[in-house]
Structure 1
Amino acid sequence: MVPTALEHQARLEVRNLGGIDETAVMFEPGITILTGRNATNRTSLLRSIMAVMGSDDASLKADADEGRVGLEIDDDRYLRTFERSNGTVTTEGEPFLDDPEVADLFAFLLESNEARRSVAMSEDLRELIMRPVDTESIRTEIRKLEREKSRIDDDLDDLDDLKAELPTLEQKRSRLEADIEEKRAALAAKEDEIESQDADLNETREEKQELESRLDDLREKRSTLERVRSDIDLQQESIESLTAERRELEAEREELSNASVGKQADLSDETDRLRERTETLEREVSDLQDVIQFNENQLDETGSIAAHLHEDTDGSVTNALVDESVVCWTCGSTVKTDRITSTLDQLRDVRQEKLETIRTLESELNELKDQRRTYQKQQKQKEAIEQTLDDITGEIEDRETRLESLREEREQLNDDIEKLESEIESLEAADFGDILDLHKEANQLEFKLGRLETELDDVTDRITTLEERLTKEDRLRSQREEIAAELRELRTRIDRIEENAVEQFNEHMAAVLDILGYANLERIWIERVERTVREGRRNVEKTLFELHIVRSTDTGATFEDTIDHLSESEREVMGLVFALAGYLVHDVYEKVPFVLLDSLEAIDAERIADLVEYIADYPEFLVVALLPEDAQALDDTYARVTEI
């Protein structure tokens, strides 16, 4: 048993709704029986409860321009008002529910209730039970989380690669540090040797200074040349990288539709057309509802008059009404009541078909809106790509200009170095040959030392960057675990709801059949299966709820039967149990305090009593409309409303 909400009293006030002029009813927690003959406004009262709860399945009294229904539960008040203007009825106010869909499906179980009728009509039970579930929103969230998980996986893969790179970099840093120490020691030794050689030379100060000046110039030029060569390599690499990026962006731009703007215009036109069609259908549905309600009220009043006349002791009038004929209030001719009832049924079917068409059109409108957003996004992507391409082209041009300048500088430096080397060679003499070689060797050592120190700085910076990125690994793995858990929950949510629905139906169907004791009806159960079905031009795998009915023969043998062979009573019970399963699966009892029952005449009185008492375990308020002879089968302690 599902625990009900906290117990409250509920007071309902109704004016000018359905066939009701004005009434007020107090409901206590538990079962309330609306007892009376047909056309005593029992259904109008139930629809009034539905209206104040938020349902649109209620209508203004045919001869009234305004109406209202209010509900007071403890200190909370809820109100719906109805006003007729220019042939159209508008509603205002604050109902109990913002969205009445689950209540309309699984709590307001009047004769026309879709869940109640779905079993008898062999409709798609799985679709109906899953209708309140926003499966597309779940799938969208799954796709979003999958993209986020993929991004984190890529980041973690990169970190794994970085961890593999780190030992190599550490080894390279150690090797570079050792090479630098070796080069520094060799340079120090070379400088000592130069200093020793300098002490033995008797060259003039001017000659020595000139030679040293040329050597310094040569060292500086070579250093500059190396820097220029490095800059040239860097510029060339950057140009290649930018060129490759430009090619990728151009390819991406080509993939985007060039006709996005035109498609958006087409979609806007189609959206306007569907919206106008929907508004037209909604007006037609509203008009049909007014016609249906008016005729229902007329039938109710005719029934009341007939019931009153049957009580007359004079049989002549009563006999005149035995054929159940009435004077048609539209054309004035005498017709059978069942013909008017049949016409009303046809009008209800037309209204239902139009409602289905409206739902289809709304679905198509949502798809068109999604497509238009997609095209708008593509257009923005294209504009962003074009801006980026302009920036890249400008940067490539700047770098090519810089590259050309560097190449010219390189040529000039080569010429300068060649000239300096020639000048130094001309300054060489026998006494200066050895010292000149020593200076050249020292220059080379200094140059190599500079290269090693630069490389060491690069390696050290790379190691620092890797170590900083690796500190994020624990956070990324924690995020990935959270996303994976959320994905598991989302991916199984739909399955869990479906499995729960099947379990609830099978469990309660078995219990109800055991209580009601239908002869030779052994079991009714639902099986959740995967079937390959045809959708358009494709075969797709689809989850279905298959209904099974098992009967037994007089000899005790069992066989599987079809729903067509069930009695009306059995079909009604099965529909109510299916609605109860949806009520429990979607936790409707947490949102809606009322369950409403009507049109149970196909079930015998004793079974009605057992079924009502079974269902009463779940809602806080169970309101049941019954004929007097059926109401007698229920406990006298239950609250009864006999006049509305």
Structure 2
Amino acid sequence: MSTDRPSAGGIEISARKIGGIDDTTVSLTPGVTVLAGRNATNRTSFLQSIMAAVGSENASLKGDAEEGSVELRLDGERYTRRLRRTPDGVAFDGDPYLDDPELADLFAFLLESNEARRGVAREENLRELIMRPVDTSEINAEIELLRAERRSVDERLEEIEAERDRLPALERRRSDVETRLEEKRAELAEVEAAIERSDAAGSQERAEAVEESLDALNERRSALKRVQEHVETERDSLETARAELNRRRTELESLPDAPDDRIDALDREISELRERRRRCDAVVNKLQTLVQFNEDALAGDDELADLLAEDEPASDGGTVTDQLVGESNTVCWTCGSEVDRSRIESFLDRLRALAREKRRDRSDIDDQLSAATDERRELKEQRERRENLESRVDALESEVEEREAALERHEAEVEELETAIGELEDEVGELDADDHDETLERHREANSLQFDIGRLTGQLAEVKEELEELEALDAEADRLGERRGEIAEELEELRTRIERLEREAIDGFNDHMDDILSILGYGNIDRIWIERREEEAREGRRTVDRTRFDLHVVRTSDDGTAYEDTIRHLSESEREVTGLVFALAGYLAHEVYETVPFMLLDSLEAIDSARIAALVEYFEDYAPNIVVALLPEDAQALDDDYSRITEI
């Protein structure tokens, strides 16, 4: 895998009062830039300036400065950062390249204090380092929204399926109505023909009187039929509503409660856990900075010694720099007194142990936060389901009451129409009592057939309209089915995002580590690889699955036997390379190259020149812009085509 680089363009960094820098402006070219120089030549300070401009807060002010600034010009855009000394430390403001620098600090800014790089050597929780930038709360919120949408889609699909169950009966009804309609029309044609033949018989006047009464009678019968159909429809709807009401009530009774006080308690717990994690992160960062500062000073960092010596007068005992690099004693850089180096080293060990303890605390907090978030999500889903069911039950109860009232009205209307029809039938009987003429009978028959044809035509139109509505439901069901499939894929993607990132990081580390070991020629190491392992752990009253990253080192003895070693037994060069490859794996798994324009490398002195050159060439395929700080003799081993900067 290789990343696409942005088009070549000017890159310029201006820094003032950052680290050991007074004031400088440096132009870079895309690709690899080598900062070549001895110690105390502001190479690390320049890298910190880049970090600050991108958005990191892992940068320091010059010792004698109250404020400093850095400006980055990249691809025609300008990004600024200002640093101010305050009673609580250094404050940052401005308009940096990134709003959130976490990915960059972890996987792109690979200075000596980089957590991913150091985490391997210190055998820290590698899985926690890889997954730290993943916002599990946001993922859970997205999952909740998708689940709610899926429930809505499922409910609508159930409604559509219930409607579509009526399709066979409707098609049979349409066929029956069409058949009966054809028969009635044929009968009417015969009767009308017979009437035309008998019109000359002299009974037309009486037939017209009877026909008027029959028309009125047929109107009442038509109205009665319509109302009877309404009654039948209302009864069916009432029965359906009652059945669903009983079903929803049963479901509501079986649904567990989601007490608001428990959800409120979880909200408070989650808020407290997030605040504890924030404070823990702040402590870890401060401890890491403190450890790095002390390590640099104890190691005799010339740049730091010069900075401390700026306002220190010379004495018979020599300069502060002389004292800092003494073999057994050194000067305490907080109070200026001379102390035994072993005391400071012992204090550093305590600081490192405290940092490890705080990282473990942070991991425990993350586990508690995940458990509390999961429980809150489940309770909210239960509460939402209960609220939906209660709302549906209320709506169904209202619907049942309305339909019962409507049914009573329709039944009363049926009684009224049946009474009116009886009176009209008596009237027609009186008109027809003295004349049983065949022609009048045919008029009555034709009138009845016309009524039947009108009623059947109306029924056919209703059936066709219902069938058209059902056909439209097919398209809606298809669309909802497609959306449900999309929701399932999105849910699966969200659920597996964490696992996918874990596996991508592990596979990337293992593949790149194999390549690097082959390229750099560490002959006494067969393989260094990470194994992803699931284990059970207790969280309160629950047993949960946790993921671990186990780092394995495989060597071969003189007699050819393979055996497993530990990271502690690797050489400093091998540990540094392993840490850098682990950072690269996180860089690629999180696609940091898409958002961070630089990868920074520093403190590579433990690796020999030839291997540094091979390592930089390997990393070049994956990062758009690499800035690497090297000693002059190490810089000579790198490709002559790389841009070089020797003065800052």
Asked whether the two chains share a fold, i.e. TM above 0.5, the reply is yes
Against the structure 1 CA distance between its residues 488 and 432, is the aligned structure 2 distance closer, same or farther, given a 3 Å change threshold? Answer: same
Q: Does residue 60 of structure 2 align to residue 56 of structure 1?
A: no
The residue aligned with 2:117 is 116
Aligned counterparts of 1:275 and 1:483: Cα–Cα separation in 2:
29
Identity %: 47
Displacement of 1:92 after TM fit? Answer: 0.7
Judged with a 3 Å threshold, the aligned counterparts in structure 2 of structure 1 residues 625 and 428 are, in CA distance, closer, same or farther, namely closer
In 2, the alpha carbon distance for the partners of 1:532 and 1:427 equals 97
Contact 1:32 1:641 (C-alpha < 8 Å) held by counterparts: yes
Once residues 543 and 179 of structure 1 are traced to their aligned partners in structure 2, the CA distance between those partners, rounded to angstroms, is 72
Alpha-carbon distance, 1:73 to partner:
4.2
Is the 8 Å Cα contact of residues 110 and 117 (structure 2) preserved in structure 1?
yes
Q: Does the 8 Å contact 1:105/1:114 carry over to 2?
A: yes
Alpha-carbon spacing, 1:619–1:456, altered in 2? closer, same or farther (3 Å): closer
Aligned 8 A contact 1:306 1:321 in 2: no
User: CA separation of 1:365/1:515 partners in 2, compared to 1, >3 Å: closer, same or farther?
Assistant: closer
Contact 2:257 2:382 in 1 (8 A): no
Moved more, 601-610 or 162-171: 162-171
> 1:94: Cα distance to partner?
1.9
What is the rounded CA distance, in whole Å, between the counterparts of 1:210 and 1:307 in structure 2? 129
TM-superposition CA deviations, 1:525-570 (whole Å, max 9, x none)? 445x564544647676777655443322334444444434323322
User: Could you tell me which residue of structure 2 aligns to residue 102 of structure 1?
Assistant: 103
Displacement of 1:49: 2.4
- 1:458 matched to 2:462? The reply is yes
Q: What is the distance in 1 between the residues matched to 2:180 and 2:85?
A: 96
Does structure 2 conserve the Cα–Cα contact (< 8 Å) formed by 1:4 and 1:620?
A: yes
Please, which of 521, 524, 530 is the counterpart of residue 528 of structure 2?
524
Name the CA distance, whole Å, in 2 between partners of 1:108 and 1:430.
114
Equivalent residues in 2 for 1:80-91 (5 A)?
A: 80-91=81-92
1:30 alignment counterpart: 32
Aligned partner of 1:15 in structure 2 is 16
For 1:530-569, list aligned pairs within 5 A: 531=534, 533-534=536-537, 536=539, 547-569=551-573
- 2:178 partner amino acid: E
Q: TM-score, normalised by structure 1?
A: 0.76
Q: Is the 8 A contact 2:529 2:553 kept in 1?
A: yes
CA contact (8 A) 1:62 1:293 kept: no
**Structure 2 match to 1:236:** 235
Cα gap change, 1:368 to 1:18, in 2 (>3 Å): farther
**1:215-257: CA deviations, max 9, x gaps?**
5554444333333322222332333344445555656766788
Change (3 A) 1:456 1:581: same
Deviation of residue 417 (structure 1)?
A: 4.0
Shift of 1:182: 1.9
Give secondary structure in 2 for the equivalent of 1:119.
Answer: helix
Contact kept in structure 2, 1:5 and 1:589, CA below 8 Å: no
| C-alpha distance in structure 1 between counterparts of 2:35 and 2:223, whole Å | 102
SS at match of 1:520: coil
Question: Is the 2:17–2:65 contact (alpha carbons within 8 Å) kept by the matching residues of 1?
Answer: yes
- Residue of 413, 434, 455 corresponding to 2:417: 413
Counterpart AA for 2:181: I
Contact 1:62 1:290 in 2 (8 A): no
* Structure 1 residue 343 corresponds to structure 2 residue 344: no
Match of 2:405 in 1: 401
**Using the alignment, how far apart are the partners of 1:283 and 1:482 within structure 2?**
40
What is aligned with 1:46?
47
Q: Secondary structure at the match of 1:112?
A: coil
Deviations 1:257-282, CA, capped at 9 Å, x for gaps: 87765456445544664566567667
Do 2:54 and 2:97's aligned partners in 1 also have CA atoms closer than 8 Å? yes
Is contact 1:35–1:640 with CA below 8 Å preserved after alignment?
no
The 1-side partners of 2:560 and 2:533 are apart by 32
Residue aligned with 2:17, SS: strand
Deviation at 1:104, TM superposition (A): 1.8
Distance 2:340 2:500 in 1: 51
- Partner Cα distance (2:323, 2:447) in 1: 133
Q: Displacement, 1:107?
A: 2.0
1:133-162 deviation digits (Å, cap 9, x = unpaired): 567767876887788789889989999999
Q: Secondary structure at the match of 1:57?
A: coil
Question: Given residue 332 of structure 2, which amino acid in structure 1 is its aligned partner?
Answer: C
Shift of 1:78: 2.4
Q: In the TM superposition, what is the alpha-carbon distance from 1:81 to its structure 2 partner? A: 0.8
Whole-angstrom CA distance in 2 between matches of 1:507 and 1:110:
23
Q: Which amino acid aligns with 1:596?
A: L
- Letter of the 2:460 counterpart: L
In structure 2, the partner of 1:182 is: 183
| 1:248–1:541 distance in 2 versus 1, CA, 3 Å | same
2:583 is aligned, of 565, 574, 579, to: 579
Matches within 5 A, 1:61-210: 61-73=62-74, 75-126=76-127, 128-132=129-133, 173=174, 175-190=176-191
Counterpart of 2:112, as a letter, is: E
Q: Is the 8 A contact 2:20 2:62 kept in 1?
A: yes
Counterparts of 1:340 and 1:118, CA distance in 2: 22
Indicate if the aligned counterparts of 2:323 and 2:331 stay in contact, CA closer than 8 A: no
Give 3-state SS (helix, strand or coil) of 2:554's partner: strand
Supply the distance in 1 between the matched residues of 2:490 and 2:499 (Cα, whole angstroms).
15
In 1, Cα distance between equivalents of 2:397 and 2:525: 80
Aligned 8 A contact 1:532 1:539 in 2: no
Say if 1:626 and 1:210 are closer, same or farther in 2 by CA, change over 3 A.
closer
- CA distance, structure 2, for counterparts of residue 327 and residue 467 of structure 1: 88
CA contact (8 A) 1:327 1:334 kept: yes
Q: CA deviation at 1:336?
A: 2.1
C-alpha distance in structure 1 between counterparts of 2:635 and 2:207, whole Å:
129
Residues 239 and 350 of structure 1, relative CA distance in 2, 3 Å threshold: same
Q: Which amino acid aligns with 1:103?
A: A
The change in CA–CA distance for 1:191 and 1:115 in structure 2 (over 3 A counts) is same
Q: Which runs of 5+ in 2 are unaligned?
A: none
Q: Does 1:509 align with 2:513?
A: yes
Change (3 A) 1:165 1:57: same
Distance in 2, matches of 1:434 and 1:185, equals 20
Q: How does 1:212-223 map to 2 (within 5 A)?
A: 215-223=214-222
8 A contact 1:59–1:289 mirrored in 2:
no
**Contact 2:33 / 2:645 at 8 angstroms: preserved in 1?**
no
Q: Is the 8 A contact 1:14 1:24 kept in 2?
A: yes
- In the TM superposition, residue 624 of structure 1 has moved relative to its aligned partner by 3.7
Maintained 8 Å contact 1:18/1:297: no
- Is contact 2:20-2:42 (8 Å) kept? yes
Is this contact kept in 2: 1:8–1:74, CA < 8 A? yes
1:365 CA drift (Å): 7.2
Q: Which residue identity is paired with 1:235?
A: E
One-letter amino acid matched to 2:116: A
> Does the 8 A contact of 2:207 with 2:443 survive in 1?
no
1:597 to 595, 601, 610: 601
| Alpha-carbon displacement from aligned partner over 1:35-73 (angstroms, at most 9, x marks no partner) | 334x66544433332222211222334553212223344
Q: Cα distance, 1:354 vs. partner?
A: 5.2
8 Å contact kept, 2:124–2:356: no
In 2, Cα distance between equivalents of 1:457 and 1:113: 77
- Single out whichever of 558-567 and 431-440 deviates more from structure 2: 431-440
Alpha carbons of 1:83 and 1:278: their partners in 2 closer, same or farther (altered >3 Å)?
A: farther
TM-score (norm 2): 0.76
- Structure 1 residues 265, 472: CA separation in 2 closer, same or farther (over 3 Å shift)? closer
Structure-2 separation of matches of 1:415 and 1:294: 104
| Cα drift, residue 91 of structure 1 | 0.7
How far 1:450 moved relative to its partner?
A: 3.7
Moved more, 337-346 or 112-121: 337-346
Counting only pairs closer than 5 Å after superposition, residues 239-258 of structure 1 correspond to structure 2 as 239-247=238-246
Counterpart contact for 1:497–1:585, Cα < 8 Å: yes
